[in-house]
Amino acid sequence: MADEKHEPSGFKVVDRRPFTSEGSPREENPPELKRDAPTPSAENAAPAPVVEPEEPEFQEEPTEQEEPTGFETLVSYLSTTTMFQLGLMAGPGGERIPPDMPNAQRTIDLLQVLQEKTTGNLTTNESRLLDDVLYELRMTFVELQKRQARKG
């Protein structure tokens, strides 16, 4: 690598900092850096406009007094996913999502595995939540299968 010849790349590095390495202000930019329009000096420059930070696109929901546990959040997430897969919830833009019955069945099965693996380790409320969610999703799944059979 030491034998390689360095050809000029056409780039020129110019120090445009307003201060020298010693900290004193530079007198003026070199002539090749001057632009067509004069830049305002610090004394004559208009103050920079204040830019308010943009609000995030999402708004946090107000927190309730009792925060949901990680388990309740997991059950809610899987339940909502199943509702999307069943075609019961609109997409982000409000568009209708067609049912995806095989994946809805898999997600319901995941909730059942979760129920089996956590038996005896849940609070009464957590157990009731999981039972209710599974019941509702299973009934909805069966009803949608019946509708599809009648149409097909």
- Mean pLDDT value of segment 119-127: 94
Separation of alpha carbons 32 and 44, rounded Å: 23
Q: Return the amino acid letter for 98.
A: P
- Contact (CB, 8 A) for 137 and 79: yes
Residue 133's closest CA among 98, 88, 83, 96?
A: 83
Q: Residue 111, CB half-sphere, CA atoms under 13 Å: how many?
A: 28
**Model pLDDT, residue 140:** 96
**Model pLDDT, residue 8:** 67
**Model pLDDT, residue 33:** 52
| Percentage of the residues of the chain whose pLDDT score is greater than 90 | 47
- Contact (CB, 8 A) for 90 and 96: yes
pTM of the model: 0.55
Q: Residue ranges per domain, the chain?
A: 70-151
Question: Which of 4-18, 29-43, 64-78, 117-131 is least confident?
Answer: 29-43
pLDDT tens digit sequence for 61-110: 655 556 656 999 999 999 999 999 999 998 888 888 899 999 999 999 99
Largest CA distance in the chain: 86
